[in-house]
Each structure stands twice: as structure tokens, then as C-alpha cells.
Amino acid sequence: MKLVAVGTVAFDSIETPFAKQEKVIGGAATYITLTASHFVDSSGLVSVVGEDFPTDFLADMKNRGINQEGLEIKMGEKSFYWSGKYHFDMNTRDTLVTDLNVLATFDPKVPASYTNAPVLLLGNLVPAVQSSVLDQFPTRPAFVVMDTMNFWMDVAWDDLMAVIKRVDVLSINDEEARQMSKEHSLVKAAKKILAMGPKYLIIKKGEHGALLFHENQVFFAPALPLEDVVDPTGAGDTFAGGFAGYLAKTQNYSFENMKRAIIVGSAMASFTCEKFGPQRLLEINQDDINARIAQFVSLVNFDIELV
């Protein structure tokens, strides 16, 4: 097993200025593992769903090498449900409904068969729960990536500070970075957050791309300019899944290789935006991914002599 992802498997109802879909398959761990399945043959899912979650979708995931020994199915209960509405810019959204359901009592159990995976992704969960997942690995995985959100900065600051000290990469969005650091400048924000513990910081800016910070180095990858963004839900998790999946495949955690992983993550995220839910992740193949990465090369690479 190359990669373990802990996080939500859920339903989303999504409204954009152009369309609306009810109860689409969603959840961070869904996007992460489906994306990573394009890079690693075997990954492990740690999550919880209710009995309402479609077994055929779980079978599709299993066929993509996503082990479900760590997935708890709670009979008589409902899966986590989120509903949101995107603004006209498709880059910001309002949450309409959050029904925790099975997530309210989620106590993730990492199966013994998962504990040798070199790469661990801790999805956005209660920080103390993220710590408990790390505690279940007899040996810390070689590379740990975690996500969080502003809510935990408000209600669980100390637990959040405890867990970010234990990870390699913290991945958050620009507003979360500003809230966490109390700095508007992302450069200043990154310095403060790196001083809080993580070795690397990824700041996601949605349609404006992503920044990777490490010590005094910084790398930037744009989002691919798309003709149509149908649904950006899951793009950030897809980015994380592509980033971690590429690192799990190559097992090279240098800054240079992380740049490549950021580009891979950005390329994968661009697919997710093309349809509602994780649909595109089930359709694309290696040729599609390579063609998309080639688009990134021509989008940003230049060759300059000093002037």
C-alpha cells in the first residue's frame, strides 16, 4: 500500500449560477483516493458512511485499488451531507447545509494492513482526531500531508497547533492562511505558519493557483484557465490527491519533486472542475493526464537569458 487517506466520503448538493445537482457523490477522501488511483495501484481509505451510500460506487473505488478495510459502514445511519451554492465568480461559495450524520461520532481506525504506507493524507477533520490517526501508526509514515479549515482555528487552536507540528505539509487556502497568521501578505503568512511547525506549506488560491513554501523557497503553479468551470467542488481535494499520489508513486520528497507534484495536482484539479462530482476522475486515463500536464508546461514554462 502506497498511500492512506483519512477523511469524508459523503453526499453534496451543489448549486452554481448555471446548474444544480442534488446528492452528488462527494467527500475529501473520495476525491483524494480516486485521484491518487491514477498514480498508485493500492491505497487505503479510512472513513465512515451510512447505509445510504451506494455500494456500486464503493465497488468502483475498490476496482481502482482503493482498499476499504478502514471504511466503516453504519447501518441505520446517514452519510455526511453538505450543500452549497457558488457565487457568480465560481471561486467562492456559501454553505447552505451541513448534516454531520455519521461524521459526528467518527473515530477513525487505521487497519494494521495500512500502517506501512509511506504517504498519509489527513483530510480536514477535528484536529484531535487527526492526531489520533497519527498515533495509530507504529512508525510515522515517511510523508504526511494535512488539510484543515478556519472552523478549527476558531474552536480547537491548541489541538491544531499540536497536530501541525507532526506533519510535513499543511495544505490550506489563502483566507485560512490569513486567518491563521493574522497577516494579509501570503509571504508573511507563510513565514509565520512554517514557524508553527509544518515543514512545507501549500496555500491554495482556487482559480488563482497554488503556492508551495519551504524555508525561503517558494514555487507557484497556476490553475489551468478553463473555458467552462462546471463545478469546482472537490478541486482542492483532487489537488491534494494528485500531489500526494505523485509523491507516493515517486517516493522522492525533495522540493524539486514537490514542484512536479504541485503541477500534477493542479492538472488533476482541472479535470474535476469539468463535471459535477468526481465523475471526470473515473473517465480520464494516463494519456489525458499527460496531455493536461503538457498544457501546464506550455502555460508557464519560458526560457530567458538575463537582460
Q: Closer to its own copies at the Cβ: 166 or 188?
A: 188
Q: Closer to its own copies at the Cβ: 7 or 206?
A: 206
Which residues of this chain interact with its own copies, rule CB under 8 A?
A: 39, 88-90, 184-188, 205, 208-209, 211, 217-222, 225-229, 246, 249, 256, 259-260, 262-264, 286, 289-290, 293-294, 297-304, 306-307
Return the amino acid letter for 85: K
Q: Tell me how far, at minimum, the Cβ of 284 lies from its own copies, in Å.
A: 12
Q: Closer to its own copies at the Cβ: 139 or 301?
A: 301
Q: Tell me how far, at minimum, the Cβ of 241 lies from its own copies, in Å.
A: 13
Q: Closer to its own copies at the Cβ: 8 or 16?
A: 16
Q: Closer to its own copies at the Cβ: 96 or 300?
A: 300
In b/e form, how buried is each residue of 109-123, taking b as 16+ CB within 10 angstroms? ebbeebbebbbbbbb
Q: Tell me how far, at minimum, the Cβ of 17 lies from its own copies, in Å.
A: 8
Q: Tell me how far, at minimum, the Cβ of 187 lies from its own copies, in Å.
A: 4
Please report, for residues 13, 16, 99, 101, the alpha-carbon distance to residue 84 in angstroms, rounded to integers and kept in the order given. Answer: 6, 9, 12, 17
Burial of 299 (0-12, 13-18, 19+ CB in 10 A): middle
Taking the C-alpha atoms of residue 222 and residue 113, their distance in angstroms, rounded to an integer, is 37
Contact indicator for 146, 154 with CB cutoff of 8 Å: no
Taking the C-alpha atoms of residue 299 and residue 293, their distance in angstroms, rounded to an integer, is 10
Q: Tell me how far, at minimum, the Cβ of 282 lies from its own copies, in Å.
A: 18
